[in-house]
Structure 1
Amino acid sequence: MEDDPHVKVMMAGSILRKVKSRSWKKNRHFRLLEDGLTIWYKSKWVGKGHATFSVTDLEAVREGHQSEVLLNIAEEFPAELCFTLVFHGRQGTLDLVAESPEEAQAWIQGVRKLIHKAQTMDEKERLDQWVRDWFHKADKNKDGKMNFKEVKTLLKMMNVDMNEDHALHLFTMADKPESGSLEIEEFVHFYKMLTQRDEVWKVFQDYSEDGEKLMLEELENFLQTEQHEGEQSSQHAQELIDRYEPSESAKKQGTMSLDGFQMYLCSQEGSIFKPEHQDLYQDMSRPLSHYFISSSHNTYLLEDQLRGQSSLEAYIQALKRGCRCVEIDCWDGGDGEPVVYHGHTLTSKIFFKDVISTLKEYAFKASEFPVILSLENHCGVEQQAVMAQYLTQILGDMLQTTLLDGQVPQQLPSPQELKGKILLKAKKIGGLEECLDETLTDEGSDEEEMANGDAEMESKQKSNMARELSDLVIYCKSVHFHGFEHARSHAKCYEMSSFSESKAKRLAKEAGTDFVQYNSRQLSRTYPSGLRTDSSNYNPQDMWNVGCQIVALNFQTAGLEMDLNDGLFGQNGCCGYVLKPDFMSDGNTQFNPEKPEEWEGYKPLRLSIQVISGQQLPKVNQKEGSIVDPLVRVEIYGVPQDQAREETGYINNNGFNPVWNETLNFTIHTPELALVRFVVEDYDKASRNDFIGQYTLPFTCIQTGYRHIHLLSKDGTAIPPSSLFVNVSISELT
């Protein structure tokens, strides 16, 4: 890539203006370092102070005025000079202004190419890159060499606590020219010897007759016996050799070396997640009420709901994560402009029209399936009319404002039929029936509503609701919940109610079957309690157990609850829609999550997980000498009977290649609803354990056999090459 003209400009370096606000704009010298992955920057005036970040930390580059900060200074700097670097997870953004359009383009295109290259690396390149990054980090005098003392310090930084004699022996072997120091290639070789994995070698030995290589039929035997692959294993064995075997001569002979075997096990195909469930694999032509829908609460917030910052960036981040239901809290603003913020608090305000423009741009980048716009409307009639105008003008055809086939539906349309559409969820004057038959007088529609017991509310609504806004609500009319009995006899499929977490939990416990049946016909939304001022989350599993589709979470708050959300929606192409199990879509279902064994389709399974080893776990405590004491906990989330956790013992002082070899067993009563979460923690007997990494996936997406689990950070972003090596088996309860 060094010959690429854009990358050349980056390597030569540029003065770019770093912008934090209208008043904070400072020149910084930015350049791409020789490794092609590290961007270095410093202020011209500060002596030695500089900062760096890696291209692998970046998720995207946005051109022009695409952040609040740059929109704020749009009149000062034209769009062709501006761009925003977006970091993964919750690391935020960096707004920059170049001195010329050419220079801005060089950085925009150059960073994009480097991000693409980093994303398309295979496991081997990624591991090499990771080792090189550490080498550069530790090479304090930048002479490209490391003596044994420096290597020992580096190993400590990498979480390796090892026998000094053994390390010295390997160091001497890697130091071919006997110079007393290792250059980067030699260090990579040293590292590979250091990470030879006995536990993988043992599995390899079990299937290799000569202990050197796996013949095609030996690999096939392994795939059938251990990985539980059926008929397709012979063709698959050949594909794996072609894909992962580094030695050309072994490839020609149709054999696999230990290196190739380890690379296969560490690849996506060797991961615990079924590859065929990564893509869109579910039927998308069922009614909306038959799907779980990834949903966000207070989407505009980046932090807590008392003093946090309201931001367009928060909408972009949620939509890019596959979120399909976003929330907008609207209030009357000055100059007739509706604003979005958390009312009666100190959270900052953003314009409603800017939120809608952001939605238009980002709604369908991660998924083509419909987005539901949940409107918390606190505006007066005048500004509601302004909102309606913005929705129709900005979104145009994207906004679903008519019935699909001109008929009042008996069931909701499907995600497939609503592809590329935005649905407004809000209160509505009257029902869809009246929209079709405008000849009905207002009194007539009121009488009809009276049967629903909502007449009084309806007429009150008419006076404080703009007809223009009401008319935009088609398939998601917000109504008050009057109980399951009332819903059975009166409710329309396009009506939906919202439940606070405590009410939803109570109903799930008292009337599980009724709630499941209700959710098979119409949508329901649940949201966190107003007491959660720190924007913490409730456990979404309780709501999914009764089939609630729109379980709204604070996407801005990392932790267990968002791990579960990411885990459930990590399947089906991350499109934000996951088909509910069939027994939850049947209006006459007798399923009750509180008593799964009474349901006729009850088929419990046994899950057995042998936790074998861990690889390159990140340090938690950055103190020079500290090394983690890791343990692994497996947690099951599902119907109440399935909630369980088991953990291994901890390993003293080894975050590098801890070996546990412990088996954890579980009984899963309702496999279709269960999520499995693997958590790695640093054991601490004096205080709470520190979090190291986690990975969560649906039970139905698990591949059995010898598998790697690629760990994620608290933010849900990858932390390569950290992983766990496990052997998973699933069997019927006899």
Structure 2
Amino acid sequence: MSHLASWSEDLLHLQNDKGVDTIIHVNPPTDKYVRLSPEIEQYLQEQGESAQDLLRKGVIVPPPADPAHPLTHYFISSSHNTYLLSRQLLGQASALTYAHVLLRHARCVELDVWPGLVVTHGYTWSTSVPLQQVVETIGTSVREGSWPVFASLECHVSAEEQEELVKIMKECWGEKLLDAAVATEDGAHITPRELKGKILLMVEYCPEQTPPSDDIEEPPASDSSSSSDDEEEEEKEGATQPSAKEEVVQSEKDKTPPKISEKLARLGVYARSMKPSKGWFNMDFSEPANVMINISESALSSLAPTSHAALVEHAARHLRRVYPRGTRIESTNLNPIKFWSNGSHIAALNWQSYDRGTQLNEAMFVGTPGYVLKPPRLLPGTNWEEKPKKERMKWEVIGLSSLPAQSNLHVYIRAQLLHAGKTQEWRSKTIKCHDVSKRGHNADFMYNEEFSFEYDEDDLTFIRCACLVDENVSFRRDVRKAVFVARTEYLEEGLCMVRLLSPKGKDTGATLLVRISFETLE
């Protein structure tokens, strides 16, 4: 009997355990009681505002989905090592993770296929799952009319097993598997509209006599582990120097994979995945058609400072996927803004944790079908001489209600403006909440402070607002209790009730009352 017959309960458990509640920023639940502090209720009454109306109003309004543009005009939400439930080296694999991320509108998933036709993280101590189960799960999760899904195949099996792999995909996916180019009028670019309900396989392409290695551009190993100047503290802890055993694992992974059979190669209709050689960003690939650049985070980072315009222009013609460096053994994530800003379409992220990378990915794609149009400056015809306008965003932070607490807390708010440039920060005063246990509810705080950030109007700017417990101890990090992350372009103006999530992405029941405004500067 197929494993799908009994998966509903397991999937629900996985969603409850690993899912995040970011959708409440777009569509707040109306059937859940939200407690507000007496001070906030009084403030709203004085302002003539309805608490219930504010609680029903979304803070984030994503743009409408438009499927009529070429594929190269979109950012695409992507899951890396999709099959893993936890860390890279010792993780547990499950087919249900594919259903889980696809239901959350990931539109690119990864399959690492190894001898025996199993999906696993090769040369590690991770468990494996049969390819058949993974393919069945993907096929069931891709519905008619849903936006197209890329299946990124990392193939490590022989030509004989590739024959069986192709057979399994064709049998399980049927007409959902795109196995031939779609006819378009006058040779127009293919768009998501023509590909709805389809699965697009990414198949590796290795040019003759050209080593498939982006490590030609790779910085030294020390750079890989020291590139955390833009990494958050929680990521730095995970991005440790690899042990000798882990270095062996990575070197084994770097071995040349088996040659791709012609039958399998033909399925890479719109995504012939290529690890590029030196100078690739100045090349235009016409043969085979639809080359997708597949490059590591470290390699692309080394190019970005001096080749930004070339990278943007290349991404206007060819799809590009960037994947995490091999030393991210704790399933930490790259900073997707860094790669979206040079036009990269797919920033592959480990969805096993809710760190800064996945928070930003959720902020970009929540409430969308997993495809978001790039800003105009990243599309063909960009005028690089024209300076972007300046934008000022202002927040009035009024008060915080019902922060989960078991005892008295000293809490402050930290806001960060995250974009391709240097992070800007603001910190509120620290306020102590007294007698939490006696009052029988969580902690409340009134701030009545404001801050503003100025930035280029580039449409790739995000705000992260966190509530932290001030430990007031030099050797101990302050504890992040709740967080809210949004793309500034999606934010509603005016008085807003921001619902705060836990460090694992779950609704805490806490709300932050703020007033948001924007001003375009000359």
- Correspondence 1:626-637 to 2 at 5 A: 626-637=407-418
CA distance in 2, matches of 1:733, 1:555: 37
- Structure 1 residues 193 and 299 mapped into 2: Cα distance closer, same or farther (>3 Å)? closer
1:349 aligns with one of 118, 124, 128: 128
Structure whose CA Rg is larger? 1
* Residue 518 in structure 1 maps to residue 314 in structure 2: yes
Who is 1:388 aligned against? Answer: 166
Who is 2:260 aligned against? Answer: 465
- Structure 1 residues 375 and 63 mapped into 2: Cα distance closer, same or farther (>3 Å)? closer
Residue identity opposite 2:264 in structure 1: L
* Residue 272 in structure 1 maps to residue 116 in structure 2: no
Who is 2:137 aligned against? Answer: 358
Aligned-residue CA RMSD in angstroms? 2.8
Deviation digits for residues 34-90 of structure 1, max 9, x if unmatched?
xxxxxxxxxxxxxxxxxxxxxxxxxxxx984217xxxxxxxxxxxxxxx44724756
- Correspondence 1:536-575 to 2 at 5 A: 536-570=332-366, 573-575=367-369
* Residue 579 in structure 1 maps to residue 362 in structure 2: no
2:468 aligns with one of 661, 677, 681: 681
- Correspondence 1:203-222 to 2 at 5 A: 203-204=47-48
Who is 1:715 aligned against? Answer: 504
Deviation digits for residues 125-171 of structure 1, max 9, x if unmatched?
521xx67xxxxxxxxxxxxxxxxxxxxxxxxxxxxxxxxxxxxxxxx
CA contact (8 A) 1:681 1:692 kept: yes
Who is 2:491 aligned against? Answer: 702
Deviation, structure 1 residue 406: 7.8
Deviation digits for residues 390-425 of structure 1, max 9, x if unmatched?
1111100000111101899674x1111100000010
Who is 2:12 aligned against? Answer: 86
Aligned residues: 460
2:429 aligns with one of 633, 645, 649: 649
Helix, strand or coil at the partner of 1:658: strand
Deviation digits for residues 165-197 of structure 1, max 9, x if unmatched?
xxxxxxxxxxxxxxxxxxxxxxxxxxx895662
Deviation digits for residues 665-685 of structure 1, max 9, x if unmatched?
100213411111111111211
TM-score (norm: length of structure 2): 0.82
Who is 1:317 aligned against? Answer: 100
By percentage of residues, which structure has more helix? 1
CA distance in 2, matches of 1:563, 1:645: 17
Deviation, structure 1 residue 491: 6.8
Residue identity opposite 1:295 in structure 2: S
* Residue 602 in structure 1 maps to residue 398 in structure 2: no
CA contact (8 A) 2:282 2:310 kept: no
- Structure 1 residues 610 and 491 mapped into 2: Cα distance closer, same or farther (>3 Å)? farther
CA contact (8 A) 1:324 1:371 kept: yes
CA contact (8 A) 2:155 2:257 kept: no
Residue identity opposite 1:662 in structure 2: E
CA distance in 1, matches of 2:257, 2:426: 56
* Residue 455 in structure 1 maps to residue 243 in structure 2: no
CA distance in 2, matches of 1:297, 1:193: 41
2:175 aligns with one of 361, 373, 397: 397
Deviation digits for residues 550-571 of structure 1, max 9, x if unmatched?
100001122111110000001x
CA contact (8 A) 1:671 1:699 kept: no
Helix, strand or coil at the partner of 2:194: coil
Deviation, structure 1 residue 521: 1.1
After TM superposition, which residue ranges in structure 1, 4 or more long, deviate above 4 angstroms?
Answer: 120-123, 192-196, 406-410, 489-493
- Structure 1 residues 476 and 262 mapped into 2: Cα distance closer, same or farther (>3 Å)? same
Helix, strand or coil at the partner of 2:409: coil
- Structure 1 residues 303 and 612 mapped into 2: Cα distance closer, same or farther (>3 Å)? same
CA contact (8 A) 2:39 2:446 kept: no
CA distance in 2, matches of 1:419, 1:293: 14
CA contact (8 A) 1:289 1:549 kept: yes
CA distance in 2, matches of 1:88, 1:195: 38
- Structure 1 residues 92 and 583 mapped into 2: Cα distance closer, same or farther (>3 Å)? closer
Deviation, structure 1 residue 378: 0.6
Deviation, structure 1 residue 690: 1.1
Who is 1:201 aligned against? Answer: 45
CA distance in 1, matches of 2:16, 2:469: 23
Helix, strand or coil at the partner of 1:315: helix
Helix, strand or coil at the partner of 2:268: coil
- Structure 1 residues 538 and 489 mapped into 2: Cα distance closer, same or farther (>3 Å)? closer
Who is 1:37 aligned against? Answer: none
CA contact (8 A) 1:671 1:700 kept: no
CA contact (8 A) 2:11 2:96 kept: no
Helix, strand or coil at the partner of 1:508: helix
TM-score (norm: length of structure 1): 0.59
CA contact (8 A) 1:272 1:709 kept: yes
Query: Which stretches in structure 2 are left out of the alignment for 5+ residues?
Result: 20-26, 213-255, 435-441
CA distance in 2, matches of 1:627, 1:462: 57
Query: Which stretches in structure 1 are left out of the alignment for 5+ residues?
Result: 1-61, 68-82, 94-119, 132-191, 205-257, 430-453, 592-598
Deviation, structure 1 residue 500: 0.9
Deviation digits for residues 440-484 of structure 1, max 9, x if unmatched?
xxxxxxxxxxxxxx333599x998322221111100001232424
> Could you tell which deviates more after superposition, 478-487 or 510-519?
478-487
Residue identity opposite 2:382 in structure 1: T
CA distance in 2, matches of 1:85, 1:476: 30
Residue identity opposite 1:534 in structure 2: E
Helix, strand or coil at the partner of 1:731: strand
Residue identity opposite 1:414 in structure 2: T
Deviation, structure 1 residue 364: 3.4
Who is 2:515 aligned against? Answer: 727
- Correspondence 1:402-551 to 2 at 5 A: 402-405=180-183, 411=189, 413-428=190-205, 454-457=207-210, 464-482=259-277, 483-484=279-280, 486-488=282-284, 494-551=290-347
CA distance in 1, matches of 2:188, 2:276: 19
- Structure 1 residues 384 and 538 mapped into 2: Cα distance closer, same or farther (>3 Å)? same
Deviation, structure 1 residue 376: 0.5
Residue identity opposite 2:421 in structure 1: P
* Residue 126 in structure 1 maps to residue 67 in structure 2: no
Helix, strand or coil at the partner of 2:444: coil
Residue identity opposite 2:284 in structure 1: R
Who is 1:670 aligned against? Answer: 457
Deviation digits for residues 208-252 of structure 1, max 9, x if unmatched?
xxxxxxxxxxxxxxxxxxxxxxxxxxxxxxxxxxxxxxxxxxxxx
- Structure 1 residues 196 and 292 mapped into 2: Cα distance closer, same or farther (>3 Å)? closer
Deviation digits for residues 338-368 of structure 1, max 9, x if unmatched?
1110111110111111100000111239x81
Deviation, structure 1 residue 299: 0.6
CA contact (8 A) 1:633 1:679 kept: yes
- Correspondence 1:162-173 to 2 at 5 A: none
Residue identity opposite 2:118 in structure 1: V
CA distance in 2, matches of 1:628, 1:552: 37
Deviation digits for residues 309-339 of structure 1, max 9, x if unmatched?
0111221221121101000001111xxxx11
CA contact (8 A) 2:399 2:512 kept: yes
Instruction: Tell me which of the two structures has the higher relative contact order, counting C-alpha pairs closer than 8 angstroms and 6 or more residues apart.
Output: 2
Q: How much identity, in percent, do the aligned residues show?
A: 28
CA contact (8 A) 2:202 2:272 kept: yes
CA distance in 1, matches of 2:305, 2:458: 20
Residue identity opposite 1:733 in structure 2: L
